[in-house]
Structure 1
Amino acid sequence: MSGLVVVGVDGAESSLAAVEEAAREARARGAGLRIVHAFVWPAMHVPTGPSPLGPPEGGIRTMVDRLTAEAVERARATAPDVGVRHAVVTGEPLTVLEAQSREAELVVVGSRGTGGFVGLLVGSTAVHLAAHGRCPVLVVREPARADGPVVVGVDGSAAGRRAVDFAFAEAELRKVPLVALHAWTTWNAPLPAPQDASEPYANPPGALAGEEERLLSEALAGFRERYPGVVVDHKVVHGGVREALIEASRSAQLVVVAARGRGGFTGLLLGSVSQALLHHAHCPVAIVRGGE
């Protein structure tokens, strides 16, 4: 067995959906699966075992054992041939899962856990891991469509190459087509060099669109040779990046984006596009950090 997929669980239904997705990922990769629950010791020295006044099956530790056993059972039912291990680790979920990401090839989490505020669309653990994880992070927002393609957002940035590579690998593992989507507007597209030097701001009709087509082709160069079995659909959209990817997620089984692309502020660890997808995508989202 080579490789490791880690999934964080906390008893929420979204974390059990994440367990199923993680089990499928581990099976496709020929990797092991580690189910991790981060356990925070209660304040005021509350005992973790059953209360003397309560039922013998009560207590925090019994609850933790029960939820991890349920997660293990769900994983084995989804992928019986995958080696499953589980661990209860003392610490805050954000810290524990970030540490786990150092030795994993993929970390999977649900979009929202048992904590936080009801009105939030995505939990703090998912957002934190997407920004700080040391490996790709897959956030399960809604169940994946078995018949959908993998969609990858391409912006031509150096940071985005890892996301493109990950998306090709996912499409190959899942044996589905890859939709390489590049969205542009007149505000974010670099101006092509003018054909007539005497008119530096004049370009023939369609010049911007042609440059964006070329950008997408160049961003995918080399990946087709590395993944010859993946069918790729080039898709150049004149419109907002976030809107285009969210719309594409309606028919996708996975959307892949870089944590940060060519826009935004350098100091930000998570860009506006990846954050928008974490909150609004209609399928699981994989966030891939660059080489920083």
Structure 2
Amino acid sequence: MSDPVLAGVDGSEASLAAVDVAVREARLRGRGLRIVHAFIWPLMHVPLGPAKDGPAGGGLRHQAEGFLEDARARARELDPELEVHTELVTGEPLTVLAHWSAKSSLVVVGSRGLGRFGALLIGSVAVHLAAHAACPVLIVRGRPDPAGPVLVAVDGSGVGAEALGFAFAEAAARRTGLTALHIAHPSADWQDQEERVLAEALAGWREKYPDVALHSEVVEAHTRPALLEASREAQLLVVGARGRGGFAGMLLGSTSQAMIQHAHCPVVVVRHEGEGTAGA
């Protein structure tokens, strides 16, 4: 299966919701779907089979296999024709999903997981993947407007250019509009310079995607609150992993992290090619 969409599952409702989104993304791309469960228990050297006096279908391995089977059934229900593979992989989620991202076109993860560490998922798995995955990462969160546009932040950086290309392709596949926002700090002398940045960033994309209805705008505001507010009316927000103002060596900027944590719709983080390494 060549460069499928990858979904990480842990048995939670959030991860099953991620499977729903991954099915749609796979269908839009004409790709297959690979569903992975990171099976950490063998590393803990604990018994994996059923308890001595317990049911034959008990045990941690059976539970993990059940997570995958439930996810496969969910995907099949949504699209019976979709090619679906499941993988039970020994390891912890951060490393496993980053490794498999090198063989994927997109990684889809939920915003919450199971167990006492579930609330930390956004601060661990999603953020880690956004910084280290070898392909774009889609974090399923918020309540997207299904009729809304794809929203993209434009900053004129190399990372921003790749995010813009991804956003145009996603808007075309979804048959929806694209809102491209370039946000200038309120204290800056911004108008001519910032409008030029936006125009240069969009150059060529209009011709490549003539059927995408594009709304572009320079907004005088603080970046994070402006994007968060705009995400209320979007079906998807696309950001670069590290923007024009990021510090060298930072794989994930503060704006991208804020969107992962607080956006009102799903967020895709696009990293610049060659920036960081999968599994780092």
**Structure 1-normalised TM-score?**
0.89
The Cα RMSD (Å) is 1.7
* Deviations, residues 198-218 of structure 1 (Å, cap 9, x unaligned): xxxxxxxxxx22322221111
Cross-structure match for 2:158: 158
Cross-structure match for 1:228: 210
Larger Rg: 1
Cross-structure match for 1:245: 227
> Contact 1:141–1:283 (CA<8 Å) still a contact in 2?
yes
Q: Which amino acid aligns with 1:93?
A: P
SS at match of 2:6: strand
Cross-structure match for 1:55: 55
- Deviation, 1:251, is 1.0
Cross-structure match for 1:9: 9
> Contact 2:145–2:232 (CA<8 Å) still a contact in 1?
no
Correspondent of 2:201 among 210, 219, 237 = 219
Gaps of 5+ in 1: 192-207
Distance 1:89 1:177, change over 3 A: same
- Deviation, 1:143, is 4.4
Distance 1:28 1:217, change over 3 A: same
* Deviations, residues 219-266 of structure 1 (Å, cap 9, x unaligned): 110111111111100122110111111111111110000000011311
Distance 1:44 1:76, change over 3 A: closer
Cross-structure match for 2:248: 266
> Contact 2:43–2:91 (CA<8 Å) still a contact in 1?
no
Write out aligned runs for 1:80-229 (5 A): 80-115=80-115, 117=117, 120=120, 122-187=122-187, 189=188, 208-229=190-211
- Greater shift, 53-62 or 165-174, is seen at 53-62
**In 2, distance between residues paired with 1:9 and 1:80?**
19
Aligned length: 274
**In 1, distance between residues paired with 2:104 and 2:44?**
35
Cross-structure match for 1:66: 66
**In 2, distance between residues paired with 1:32 and 1:151?**
26
* Deviations, residues 27-55 of structure 1 (Å, cap 9, x unaligned): 01110000000111346643211111212
Cross-structure match for 2:278: none
**In 2, distance between residues paired with 1:112 and 1:269?**
22
* Deviations, residues 112-170 of structure 1 (Å, cap 9, x unaligned): 22256465482411010000000000011134332111000001112211000000000
